[in-house]
Structure 1
Amino acid sequence: MTSPPARSLRPRRPLARLARALGEAVLTGRSGPAHPRPRWLSPRVPGFLGLLPFRTVDLVPIADLVLAFVLFRAVQSMNAGGAELSALTAALPLVLRNRWPLAAWRLAAVLAPLDAVTREQSTDLIYSADVVIMYLLVVYAVAVRCERHITIGVWIISIAGLWIIDLSLEAVGTLFLGGTMVTVAVLLGYNIQARRTAAGRLAEEERRSERALAGQAVLEERARIARELHDVVAHHMSVIAIQAEAVPLKAKGEVRLLEEGLAEIRTLSLAAMTEMRRVLGVLRDADGARDTGPQPGLGRLEELVATARSAGLTVTLSLGGDLLELPTAVSLSAYRIVQESLSNAMRHAPGSTVSIKIGRSGDELNIHVASSAGTRPAAEPATAGRPGHGLIGMRERVSMLGGSLWTGPVGTGFAVTAILPITQDDSAATA
């Protein structure tokens, strides 16, 4: 005798889902956390009540308590039999529905049928208005706070209870009306829950997007600082390397010249460290503070040229036009372009002659740096043909300002020409 297929031994999925929905609605289910109230339902406490331990007032539980008290007193004042039970039926679930909506519904599902059977009605309706109001509010609270399958279980039990009681009391005409009101309350509550859930997810996505944008801004800031550090380190280290190579040759065993050369190397090293600290100062701390140390600009070109001359370059500097009122971003970018050009000359053409011409023409700043062939072999021939980050950094700076850049060999040397638009928008000063 063959055994039946395994799938026939499993409960059908629709029946299993129905059993789960009913079981959690009646016994094991729990309601979810309350959604944040709109501002008009949770106003702030006035300033003169600032000593209270809470900052906002939740109007929903207050309204539930007021309504429960009104219904309790109204039903209790009736002279009909079972008034005490009817008063508790109308009031107690309303008191519980804000904090424990599912427990409030379970209590209402037990008390409402008992009240319908024991209360003496003066009309043909099974349920009085107070019980109807209470039950619809409790079902609405369940639909707003509970999962969908629990809400479906509550709806099924409510409709089944209406059907059983209506048949037992021979009032079939109220089944359609009661079922319609319960269904409307469930659909309205579920729609509110879906909208609040969607709004919460949208807010979370916006927060994630803001965090992602903040992280991207941090990465861009770090990339900018890396470019700045490359300019600083490359220039000063090139000068120090050239000096370290040239000092012994220049001193020729004389202690005084050797000491002067080492002192100059030390001075250059301290200057490099100072400028590195200034660049790193743009990093903000946890409180959002930042170093306000000035960035280098065209006002420090003489220092830059003096450093290059001390490394063995013959540098001529020609400045034209009003260069004092330049925007910070333009002045900083011009300084870095000249700095990188001098560093390249030190690395690839030691002892060369460099001509620097900077002039302002209307709304444009023209920069031209040309170097001749070196008089000594390059200190790093292995990397002479390898593209570095210096030219890339120049192009990024010029592109950021909307300018133009040309670089390439000219005769036996190398030339860099940049045109930077001069605008008063200083927003890119730290870029």
Structure 2
Amino acid sequence: MTPPSPPPPPTDGLLTAGLRNLRALAHGIAHPSHAPTAPFADSPRQWQRILPYVVVLSLTGAFLPITIVVLTGSYDVPGALAGALAVAQTVPLLMLAHRPLQAWWIVLPADVAGALVLVGHHYQDNVWPWPAPVLIGYLFLLLAIALREKRRTLIGVWLITGAACLGLGLAFPDRNDGTNALLFILSSVVLVIGGAVRERGEAQRRLSEAQTLSEAERAQRTLLEERARIARELHDVVAHHMSVITVQADSAPYRLTGLSAEAAEEFGSIAASARESLSEMRRLLVVLRNDGTEGERAPQPGIGRAQQLVEATVRAGVPAELSLPAALSAPGALPPAVDLSAYRIVQEALANVVRHAPGAPTRVSVASDGAYLTVVVVNGPSDAPGSPLESGTGTGHGLIGMRERVRLTGGALDTGPLPDGGFRVAARMPLAPSSDPSPEDTK
């Protein structure tokens, strides 16, 4: 017998949802959503870090004396009372740079108190309840809030501002000249504009962060793809040698006379181990070639085929030359990994010349001093008119692939532009096996 299913959770009613939204608004206007730091605090330029403080000092320095003059001259408010009101209404503007919401909690009650004070003073032919300095200063305050706070906080500030305007208008309808409605309308405009600017800036920041992550992921994916491609090619090289070992070990008892039973058994063990290793490598090859590209099963090329690359480059319209000693182009003259890496470096470098510098004179030089193989591909500036065949930045596979190949052999790679507008690719790979990558290529 299955236990009864639990009852569904109760849904919120209209009253519950309204109370929850009111609590969210109250929390928004009571708790700032940003750290108490000024805008541009992380800017590398000092003048940008100082600019917000200069602005708030200028606003406070301008509004404080103007408010005192207006209160005493136009509304006949006593000097001490006018000074106290002006200080309460304008000095909190100094907090606009880092704590605008807290400044609003001081300025709004001070503005309401100032409006109540002006009821008992001469205000004929003067605006009420918001004199011009008070109204403009309050709009600057709302703009600072809109540029820093979230949308629900802006809604709460706007509603409380509207409630203050409505309350004063209803309390003194015969003295109201419409500035309370004007402030309510202007406050909505300022909050909408400031909020839109803030949200657009946040969207651009998130987009920039996403692009940065995307570029990093694309570079990592390119690196992994190149490593997989190199692994596939090197697998073919190693598989060839493992096949040779298997054949030689299997045929040794037939080719060599006078072998003892122990030696023949040892050759059989070697052949069995080689066949097992070859089977494991073939299973690995299936995984590496998960894209189904059967064409890569062909034997891997070596530097001896560099002449074919140069000839194809010349047919593409690039005047290219090759310097390759005959001793290096002979089969088996170089270690398989170095031989394959040298060919791929020349192939990619020439392809880059065709794509990015069509018509540029190019020279390929391959040399060896017995310990190292040096491959240099240098091209001059493009002589062909017009733009390159590929004006974009490309996938990034070329240089990454060359660097990975050279790093695999323990060599060093140097690439970069030349003063005359050309480009140079230089690789130096040891001919003896090396398990430690070059420090230059591990940067």
Deviation at 1:22, TM superposition (A): 4.1
* Residue number in structure 2 paired with 1:285: none
More divergent stretch after superposition (87-96 vs 70-79) = 70-79
Instruction: Call closer, same or farther: CA 1:85–1:296 in 2, change over 3 Å.
Output: farther
2:237 to 232, 236, 241: 232
Q: Distance in 2 between matches of 1:331 and 1:301?
A: 19
Question: Could you tell me which residue of structure 1 aligns to residue 207 of structure 2?
Answer: 202
Question: Are positions 1:212 and 2:217 aligned together?
Answer: yes
Give how far 1:112 is off: 1.3
CA apart distance, 1:179: 1.2
Give the alignment's TM-score, normalised by structure 2. Answer: 0.51
Out of 155, 158, 162, which is 2:161 matched to? 158
Q: 1:91 corresponds to which residue?
A: 90
Structure 2 CA distance, aligned partners of 1:19 and 1:303? 82
| Residue-by-residue CA offset, 1:297-353 (whole Å, 9 max, x unaligned) | 116452428999xxxxxxxxxxxxxxx9998118999xxxxxxxxxxxxxxxxxxxx
Amino acid at match of 2:247: I
Identity in percent:
29
Are the structure 2 counterparts of residues 124 and 328 from structure 1 closer, same or farther at C-alpha, using a change threshold of 3 Å? Answer: closer
Partner of 1:297: 303
- 2 CA distance for matches of 1:145 and 1:63? 16
C-alpha separation between the residues in 2 aligned to 1:91 and 1:233? Answer: 81
Residues 2-44 of structure 1, C-alpha deviations (whole Å, 9 max, x = no match): xxxx9799452562255225422453x32235999689x9672
Quote the offset at 1:103 in angstroms. 1.3
| Structure 1 residues not aligned, in runs of 5+ | 1-5, 47-55, 270-294, 309-323, 334-424
Matched, 1:139 2:142: yes
Q: Which amino acid aligns with 1:30?
A: P
SS state of the match for residue 147, structure 2?
helix
Quote the Cα distance in structure 2 between the aligned partners of 1:224 and 1:249: 39
Residues 21/133 of structure 1: CA separation in 2 closer, same or farther (3 Å cut) = farther
Task: Report which of the two structures shows the higher radius of gyration computed on alpha carbons.
Answer: 1
Q: How big is the alpha-carbon RMSD for the aligned residues of Structure 1 and Structure 2?
A: 4.5
Residue by residue over 1:226-258, the C-alpha shift from the partner in whole angstroms, topping out at 9 and shown as x without a partner, is: 123212211222233333334454443479xx9
Asked whether the equivalents of residues 56 and 93 of structure 2 are also in contact (C-alpha less than 8 Å), the reply is yes
Shift of the 43–331 alpha-carbon distance from structure 1 to 2, 3 Å rule, reads closer
- Give the letter aligned to residue 165 of structure 1: L
Distance 1:227 1:70 in 2: 74
Secondary structure of 2:112's counterpart equals: helix
**Which amino acid is 2:330 matched to?**
E
Retained in 1: the 8 A contact 2:302–2:343? no
Instruction: State the Cα distance separating 1:188 from its structure 2 match.
Output: 0.9
In 2, Cα distance between the equivalents of 1:245 and 1:8?
Answer: 79
Instruction: Write out per-residue CA displacement over residues 207-229 of structure 1, whole angstroms, 9 at most, x where no aligned residue.
Output: 23212312221221121221232
Deviations, residues 191-221 of structure 1 (Å, cap 9, x unaligned): 1122112212221221232123122212211
Q: How many residues align?
A: 272
Q: 1:64 aligns with which of 56, 69, 82?
A: 56
1:24 matches 2:52: no
TM-score for the superposition, normalised by structure 1: 0.52
* Distance in 1, Cα, partners of 2:236 & 2:343: 24
The Cα of 1:70 is off from its aligned counterpart by 2.6
- Of 343, 346, 354 in structure 2, the residue corresponding to residue 328 of structure 1 is 346
1:150-189 superposed matches below 5 A: 150-169=153-172, 170-171=175-176, 173-189=178-194
Cα 1:204–1:89 change in 2 (3 A) is same
Give the match's secondary structure for 2:97: coil
1:374 corresponds in structure 2 to none
> What is the match of residue 115 of structure 2?
116
Give me the whole-angstrom Cα distance separating, in 2, the residues matched to 1:206 and 1:36.
26
- Change over 3 Å in CA distance of 1:25–1:235 after alignment to 2: closer
Q: Which amino acid aligns with 1:135?
A: Y
- The residue type paired with residue 60 of structure 1 is P
Deviation at 1:66, TM superposition (A): 2.1
